[in-house]
Amino acid sequence: MAILNSIRKRGIFLIIIIAMALFAFVISGIIDNGGLKGGTVSNSVATVNGTDIDRVAFNNLVEAQSRQYGGAASQSQVRNIVWEQQVRKAIIEGKLEDLGFTAESNFTKKALTDAFQNQPDFFNEAGVFDYAKLEEYIRFQQENDVTYANWLAQENQIVSQAMEQAYFSMVQGAASPSTIDGKWEYHLENDKVDIQYVQVPYSSIPDDQAVITDAEIEAYMRDHQERFTVDPRVDIQYVLFAGNASAADELATTEEVNQLVNDTINGLAITEDVEALVNANSEVPYQDRFLFKNQVPSTIADSIFAREAGSVYGPYKERGNVMATRIVERRTLPDSVKARHILIPIGSNPTDNIVRDEAQAKTTADSLMTILKSDLSRFEEFVTAYSSDQGSIERGGLYDWYPYNRMVPAFRDFTFEEEVGALGVVKSDFGFHIIEVLDQKNPQEAVKLATIAKPLRASQETINNLFSDATNFELAARKGDFAAVAQESVYGVRPVNAVGQLDENITGLGPQRTLVNWAFNEETAVGDIKRFDVGDGFAVVQLVRRNLEEALMSNAEGSAIVTPILRAQKKAKMIREQLSGSTLEEIAQSQSQTVQSAQAINRKSPTIAGAGTEPKVVGAAFGLKPGEVSGPIDGKTGVFVVRLTAKNVAPDLEDYSAFVTRARQAQGTQAALNAYNALKKAADIEDNRATFY
């Protein structure tokens, strides 16, 4: 009571303190964003050549795109896709503006015509696109501010795309191949050489004789910086405390499943409504269908098919669940069926143009069924006259040898469970089917199963224990060496290198943007350690290395690329030093190799029989005179020495237009791509994604 009175007396001071704290929080955000340093609070997700991409508009585009993907891509993936689209748009529009490229009325009209010319809403009485119809539609949109704003946005998008296409068409036209290019293309493909060669493969020298040092890797990367320069990266390492179910959790889940099986009132073993029981208590819904043995998980198939109908198998573990399965029914079924049908739909029937309600559709089906029982020869006649299944009318209603799961349940059950020759009416979501079972084959045992599945999840007690373990490790690792402390506790340390600033997934942890943002935060120092929630578990993470500017790959990253290159160079030098002899045969003998032959080699597809693709070797062969022997050539797979035995130069053509066309097709798309890449490389792009996401 005394404490409460003390708080009341000092209430005004508490209010002042809280207000000051809130003010400090707000003002710090402004300062962090440059608000009190002569700058402004940025609200742009990117700035491209001085043009801002507004974050609010960008987020709206991301939301719209996410709906289109429907969960097929993560939010981060969609965000990156939209970012690339908007950067491209800004770059191209800026370039068009620099060139004075504007959309005049005729250009806009053509762009809209191209976009809508196949839409029937804008066709005239003759069935041809009429621009006047489109203008009428636009005037109608103008009657409402919202719809007109939407139309203007759509029109702007269409015209922008048309302008971009026009720009790249000009680029492609400027890069269009000439007759000389066509002639070159022709000779690349049709000039041929025959050679004899000796190949000393790099694999003939053990790797341990061509050791590559870290210094050599680093020097190579520095000499080829454009290839090995990477965006800001961090390296981390972590210990995972996975939220897996404990033995006690598994025992509790198994007992829960046992109770559902053995309940004396409505247990799985005795219930007459297995569907309701399963759907109310199982992670996996009930499926009212038969399964053949190859459709049942192999781990339990033998046990299931060895039991009688009505018996229960389990509990057992499968796919992260504790399960129990009742064999609801056993019977012999064919694996495929041939049947024909007449479909009388509920509603409009496009075949006879009659609209029927359910009762009328049922009456029609029953009437046809009555006739067919006495005169089955009229089946195909009725298919043509009445069936709404357009996919089978031309075949007389026939579906030829379909498997068990192909048809809707009612159709499937009748054709697989009735005997050959059966004729009947069944109702499905499509209407009433008059079905005749024509044939069945490959009868085999099948079962209908009802399975209760309870997921194996860590209990709250298990999660609490994990939290305690993770926290204790985090505190100990901060006082000592991360790896050493982990080793003492027998925890595995998992390194993850080259994590990008906009990466989402961390190997072994899945999507972890919070972790990535922490690692790149300037307030986080190399060596810092932090615990993160990851699903049902925890990861204790240490920042190992960080560069916040573009830099060379680390040796560990570059080694996979550079080591094979340098090793091949060292081996090539060693092989060249070992070569001896003046003839091809002497050289081959000195290296315990054989002289091989290859015919009709061209430069378009520089493949040598017995050696693979070797463009450098083939190019050198074309530079030789018949009978001439080359010097050593460092190829992709080994060192080669080549003797030219014949060169066949294709005769010149009067017309190379076919080859010019092929070259144009090959170069056209590449020219546009190269042009955009050049514009992007030259652009001043400020990427602010990491600030907001």
Mean pLDDT of 130-139: 90
Q: Which residues contact 425 (CB under 8 A, 6 or more apart)?
A: 362, 365, 366, 369, 432, 433, 434, 435
Q: Quick check: 454 pLDDT over 60? A: yes
Distance from C-alpha of 502 to C-alpha of 331, rounded to nearest angstrom: 56
pLDDT at 102: 83
Does the bond joining 285 to the residue before it have cis omega, within 30 degrees of 0?
no
Mean residue pLDDT of the chain comes to: 89
Mean pLDDT for the stretch of residues 4-9: 38
Split at pLDDT 50, 70, 90, the class of 398 is very high
Which residues make Cβ contacts (< 8 Å) with residue 558, sequence separation at least 6?
217, 218, 220, 221, 228, 552
Domain 336-441 fold = Chitinase A; domain 3 (3.10.50)
Q: pTM, whole model, 2 decimals?
A: 0.61
Would the CATH topology of 192-227+556-648 be identical to that of 336-441?
Answer: yes
Q: Is 252 within 8 Å of 373 (Cβ atoms)?
A: no
Question: Residue range 681-692: average pLDDT?
Answer: 88
Q: How confident is the model at residue 199 (pLDDT cuts 50, 70, 90)?
A: very high
* DSSP single-letter state for residue 49: T
Cβ-Cβ contacts under 8 Å for 605 (sequence gap 6 or more): none
What is the spatial distance between Cα 641 and Cα 634, in angstroms, rounded to a whole number?
9
- pLDDT digits 0-9 by tens, 217-243: 999 999 999 899 888 889 999 999 999
pLDDT in tens, 358-381: 999 999 999 999 999 999 999 999
* Domain residue spans of the chain: 2-32, 105-174, 192-227+556-648, 232-244+459-549, 247-333, 336-441
| 511 phi and psi angles, rounded to 5 deg | -65, 125
Convert the pLDDT of each residue in 457-475 to its tens digit. 999 999 999 999 999 999 9
Between 15 and 479, residue with greater pLDDT: 479
> Max Cα separation, the chain?
111
Where residue 331 falls among pLDDT bands split at 50, 70, 90?
Answer: very high
d(CA 127, CA 125): 5
Whether the CB-CB separation of 328 and 309 falls below 8 Å is answered with yes
Judged against a pLDDT cut of 90, whether residue 536 lies above it is answered with no
The three-class DSSP label of residue 318 is strand
pLDDT in tens, 273-306: 999 999 999 998 999 999 999 999 999 999 999 9
Choices 3.40.1710, 1.20.1530, 2.60.40, 3.10.50: CATH for 192-227+556-648: 3.10.50
Could you give the CA distance from residue 405 to residue 446 in angstroms, rounded to a whole number? 13
